[in-house]
Amino acid sequence: MTAQTPQDQAQARSLWSAGWARFRKNRLAMTGAVIVVALYLAAILAPLIAPHDPIEHGEVPRMRYLSPGSAHPLGTDKFGRDVLSRIIYGSRISLTISFLAVAISVVLGSLVGAAAGYFGGIVDSVIMRFVDALMAIPRLFLLLTCIALFSRSVWLIILLLGATGWMATARLVRGQVLSLREQDFVKAAEALGAGGRRIVLRHLLPNTLTVVIVAATLRIGGIILTEAALSFLGLGVQPPTPSWGQMIFEGREVLLGAWWVSTFPGLAIVVTVIGYNLLGDGLRDAFDPKQFA
Amino acid sequence: MMEGNDGIGEGMAPLLEIDGLKTVFYTDEGVARAVDGVSFSINPGETIGLVGESGCGKSVTALSIMRLVPDPPGRIEGGSVLLDGRDLLAISEKEMRKVRGNEISIVFQEPLTSLNPVFTCGEQVREAIGLHQKLGRRESKEQAIEMLRLVRIPDPEKRYGNYPHQMSGGMRQRVMIAMALSCQPKLLIADEPSTALDVSVQAQIIELLLELREQLGMAVLLITHDLAVVAQMAERVVVMYAGVVVEEAPLGRLFAHPAHPYTDGLLASIPKVDAPVERLSAIPGTVPDPLRLPPGCRFSDRCPKRMDKCSVTEPGMFAVAEGHRSRCYLCEGSGP
Amino acid sequence: MLAFVCKRLLQSLLLVVIVLTVTFFLLHLAPGDPMARYFHPEIAPETIELIRERLGLDRPVVEQYFKWMGSFIRGDFGMSLQYNRPVRSLLAEAIPNTLRLTVAALILHIVLGILLGVISAVKRYSPFDRVNTVTALFVYSIPSFWLALMMIMIFSLKLGLLPSSHMQSIGAGELGGWALALDRLRHLVLPAFVLGVASAAGMARYMRGSMLDVLREDYIQTARAKGLPEGKVVLKHALKNAAIPIVTLIGLSLPFLLGGAVVTEKIFSWPGMGRLTVDAIYARDYPVVLATNFVVAVIVILGNLLADIGYALLDPRITVTGRKGGR
């Protein structure tokens, strides 16, 4: 009944193992993978590795703006809180928000894109015009508008980041589906009387999976940057929960006197985003050399 | 001299003399010796057919003569290419640029992709003329139109302003030929000039090349895997296999008395009108991967006449007759 | 050509209508009475009734929708609650400022991007290429607001070389002529750099790939076989082919630049639409937020329209004309 024969599966397996072999040989990609894994470990193990409490205020003014030293490797902030500990805890916000937001946008984008590509015709035109229109509004403007209209919370921010980021995935998946639906196995499934939804879910989506995973990895970096920008503007996660963007914002009044307050959270963002970009590039090169070349 | 069928010898100085040419490609998987010690020569006004299956090093030989091997990964590592006694591999890049398109020209296989899509055909011909002949824009344009007329493009004044995508494959190949011949080169390298075209257009292009050769008197290095085209144009044939020359002979002699089993195979694979279809035989197997050449004779793993020593040491070139050489132990000691 | 332009123009209009619709429904999808958002301690109830009437919020939704659309297309965006001025006049001040910043960043984006990309492609795997690639990756991963702060810290606060905020010095209006132009240029350097450098890195990366693809094409071999010097092969034959898709890329990068302007303008106190929007959000000044959204979308759609027309003009293979010849 299904068009996937054992040979197909064997072929798919060897494709994956060949890709994995290519990935492992790519030093930059492995660096990216190590960075990302290390970040998740730091987020999960934050209570164990953070030297101080990230939220509780230190004894002000004695503890305020201490420059980096042995007790506080990255210094302290206005309230005498340890910058390093806040960065470690801040990774939780960045990683959670970006991961969930990408997950939402990928699922949404895949469904919309697959529907547009599969049904074609008027459905396709309507959906794609809508996507074009949404892409015309700069993301940050769209986000700011939504945040202004709705009340603020972490979940809303995740939802909004996801809901404003699915358009590129939709285009990508639509393109994939358009080319895949012309291939024999989909035609075979159609000839055997499989219904539309079944074909999309069982045959088309799994085949676009590689492309989507690669694109999603590359997009996480962008989401982290957007979330940080929101926090920086004071429209993201609310204090006292530590988030990197907001830490940078707090340091902006003391750039000369206490440069470490803004500098280190910024470096944390840079390293994280570089990690995801390297990982995404590596995955792309390893598993899909033609698609994005 | 243009009618001369016995090309070599006769004390005439050759136009182009290739000796021990070695071109290698450094790939991730290893060093591929695409051209591994190729030697042959071309006399003024002579047409040489360079034949062999795809992947045997014909095109790399052509690019090496022009010094256009993409570097990296390719590199010319040895030998000499003498044009009128001057070693093209030893001169500076600046000197070499005066040779390209001026003394030696090349026509590539794919007319569809060999012309730049964003410039008009006329401009691309004019550019070559302006470059080598120090003519003003107007004069070079006039000469470019003359060249288009010479290669029988109808209404050349109007076609001058056409972009490549507005022309058919055959017309584009004519533009390529016009560009190559625009500075009256001494040698034209034609790399599978008709392979990518429709059969009827193929014949027209070959005919055009034949006529232009008569008219302009240049030597031609015709690279092809199609022995029928060789029979029409060439005076002498060089057969290549896996990066080396395996046989060299005057045209008539090669067809009548092929000395190398590989040439035998190539000849047997030409369809003949009077022969029953089953007799049409291709050589079994494929050209070996240049990274994994068999020991001894490179053809040994496909050869129907293989002997024990064939898989041990590579044979040298043995003279078979006047102007006829073959790289096969069967010919050892059979020469004059 | 005319038919093509008309078709694209119609498509763009359709996009504008969709953007308007999306904005309208965002306003109505938000929980509660849309009017509730206009409650503000400093606004008299009469004013609110006036706004309600003005926006037609007491009418059926369909009628509201068409009225809303009509007034937006006419450029009537209502009154700013914060400044008690027509939104239109606020925008009239902010749009040129944003355009000045964005265009400066766009120039940096294009010039730097193409230059670095081409050199990287031609000298691929050279030390320059490697440094370039690593730098691009780094720049691409930097949050713009953080980069802005670092630049301010170094160039304004530590070295005192460049001003860190506003479009010109106080009292610069008296200077006039070159002195004023120079003063404005000095104020433009940091924000334009911060805004443009990330997309320039993206452009360089794209351009490198595009050039590498083109340099592998057969016609490049043909150009070399003619005897053209390598510089001419690259700058004439390869660049023209590689640069045509760039026109589209420029159109696509507009949303990023305008979005980036929000943060950049805020940090550098640049009186443009981005700062206007952020301040409006802090002040819950909804008419301004919706209007800037709309205007920015229109600018993006217009930019993409121009990019498409430019592409059609540049690439002879696209025949948008009725006549033959492609140009």
Residues of C in contact with B133 (CB under 8 A): none
Q: Do B166 and C229 touch (CB under 8 A)?
A: no
Q: Do B97 and C228 touch (CB under 8 A)?
A: yes
Domain extent for C263 = 88-286+308-314
Band of the pLDDT at B320, cuts 50, 70, 90?
Answer: confident
Residue C2 CB burial class (10 angstroms; 0-12, 13-18, ≥19):
exposed
C135, part of any domain: yes
C173, part of any domain: yes
The secondary structure of chain B in percent helix, strand, coil, rounded to multiples of 5, reads 35, 25, 40
B123 in reach of chain C (CB within 8 A): no
Mean pLDDT, chain B, as a whole number? 82
- Asked whether B44 and B230 are in contact (CB, 8 A), the reply is no
List the 145-184 stretch of C: residues with Cβ below 8 A of A. Answer: 145-146, 149-150, 152-153, 157-158
- How much is the average pLDDT of C291-310? 85
CA atoms within 13 A on the CB side of B179: 34
Q: Do B97 and C229 touch (CB under 8 A)?
A: yes
Smallest CA-to-CA distance from C151 within C141, C164, C139 is with C164
- How much is the average pLDDT of B244-265? 87
C54, part of any domain: no
**What's the rounded Cα separation, in Å, for the pair A201 and A111?**
9
C194, part of any domain: yes
C139 in reach of chain A (CB within 8 A): no
- How much is the average pLDDT of A244-268? 85
A20 Cβ neighbours under 8 A, 6+ residues apart: A286
How many domains would you assign to chain C? 1
CA distance B9 to chain C (A): 31
- Asked whether C298 and C15 are in contact (CB, 8 A), the reply is no
Residues of C in contact with A245 (CB under 8 A): 143, 145
- How much is the average pLDDT of C91-98? 90
Longest CA pairwise span in chain A (Å): 77
Identify which of C217, C226, C317 has the shortest CB distance to residue B101.
Answer: C226
- Asked whether B247 and B240 are in contact (CB, 8 A), the reply is no
pLDDT tens, position by position, A14-26: 667 777 888 888 8
Q: Do C326 and B163 touch (CB under 8 A)?
A: yes
**What's the rounded Cα separation, in Å, for the pair C103 and A120?**
38
**What's the rounded Cα separation, in Å, for the pair A131 and A165?**
11
C143, part of any domain: yes
C238, part of any domain: yes
Q: Do C293 and A148 touch (CB under 8 A)?
A: no
| φ and ψ at residue B57, rounded to 5 degrees | 105, 10
Mean pLDDT, chain C, as a whole number? 81
- How much is the average pLDDT of A32-42? 90
Instruction: Tell me which chain C residue has its CA closest to the CA of residue A234.
Output: C282
Return the pLDDT at C107. 92
3-class state of residue C162 by DSSP: coil
CA distance C322 to chain A (A): 26
- Asked whether C290 and A145 are in contact (CB, 8 A), the reply is yes
| φ and ψ at residue B27, rounded to 5 degrees | -110, 170
Of residues B96 and B197, more confidently modeled? B96
Identify which of C152, C263, C281 has the shortest CB distance to residue A232.
Answer: C263
Domain CATH code at residue C257 = 1.10.3720.10
Identify which of A140, A249, A277 has the shortest CB distance to residue C141.
Answer: A277
- How much is the average pLDDT of C133-148? 87
**What's the rounded Cα separation, in Å, for the pair C95 and C86?**
15
The token pair that represents B155 in the structure block:
């209404």
Q: Do C227 and B176 touch (CB under 8 A)?
A: no
Q: How many CB pairs under 8 A join A and C?
A: 145
Identify which of A139, A145, A248 has the shortest CB distance to residue C26.
Answer: A145
- How much is the average pLDDT of C192-214? 88
B100 in reach of chain C (CB within 8 A): yes
Sign of CA dihedral C99, C100, C103, C108: negative
Of residues B292 and A96, more confidently modeled? A96
Neighbours of chain C (3+ CB pairs under 8 A): A, B
Sheet holding B16-27, edge to edge: B30-42, B16-27, B74-83, B86-87
pLDDT tens, position by position, B26-36: 887 788 888 88
Q: Cis peptide before A61, with omega less than 30 degrees from 0?
A: yes
First to last CA, chain A: 35
pLDDT tens, position by position, A197-222: 676 666 666 667 777 888 888 888 88
User: Where is average pLDDT lowest: A159-163, A187-191, C120-124, C215-219?
Assistant: A187-191
Residues of A in contact with C157 (CB under 8 A): 255-256
- How much is the average pLDDT of B19-28? 86
Residues of B in contact with C217 (CB under 8 A): 113
Identify which of B68, B106, B114 has the shortest CB distance to residue C219.
Answer: B114
Band of the pLDDT at C139, cuts 50, 70, 90?
Answer: confident
Instruction: Tell me which chain B residue has its CA closest to the CA of residue C233.
Output: B116
Identify which of A139, A262, A270 has the shortest CB distance to residue C259.
Answer: A139
- Asked whether B48 and B222 are in contact (CB, 8 A), the reply is yes
Residues of C in contact with A129 (CB under 8 A): 14-15, 18
**What's the rounded Cα separation, in Å, for the pair A163 and A137?**
13
- Rounded alpha-carbon distances, angstroms, from residue C273 to C104, C270, C280: 16, 9, 10
Percentage of chain C beyond pLDDT 70 is: 87
Which string of DSSP letters, residue by residue, matches B157-181? Answer: HHHTT--GGGS-HHHHHHHHHHHHH
ipTM, 2 dp:
0.81
Sign of CA dihedral A29, A31, A34, A39: negative
Instruction: Tell me which chain A residue has its CA closest to the CA of residue C279.
Output: A233
For residue B213, the tally of other CB atoms under 10 A from its CB is 20
**What's the rounded Cα separation, in Å, for the pair A122 and C181?**
53
Return the pLDDT at C105. 93
Q: Do C145 and A229 touch (CB under 8 A)?
A: yes
Band of the pLDDT at A196, cuts 50, 70, 90?
Answer: low
Identify which of C19, C37, C141 has the shortest CB distance to residue A136.
Answer: C19
Of residues C165 and B180, more confidently modeled? B180
Smallest CA-to-CA distance from C268 within C98, C142, C108 is with C98
**What's the rounded Cα separation, in Å, for the pair A192 and A156?**
44
Return the pLDDT at A7. 53
Residue B314 CB burial class (10 angstroms; 0-12, 13-18, ≥19):
middle
pLDDT tens, position by position, A100-131: 999 999 989 988 988 888 788 888 888 888 88
**pTM of the predicted structure, to 2 decimals:** 0.78
C266, part of any domain: yes
Q: Do B101 and C316 touch (CB under 8 A)?
A: no
Q: Which amino acid is at B181?
A: L
C209, part of any domain: yes
Q: Are strands B30-42 and B86-87 parallel, antiparallel or unpaired?
A: unpaired
Return the pLDDT at C323. 36
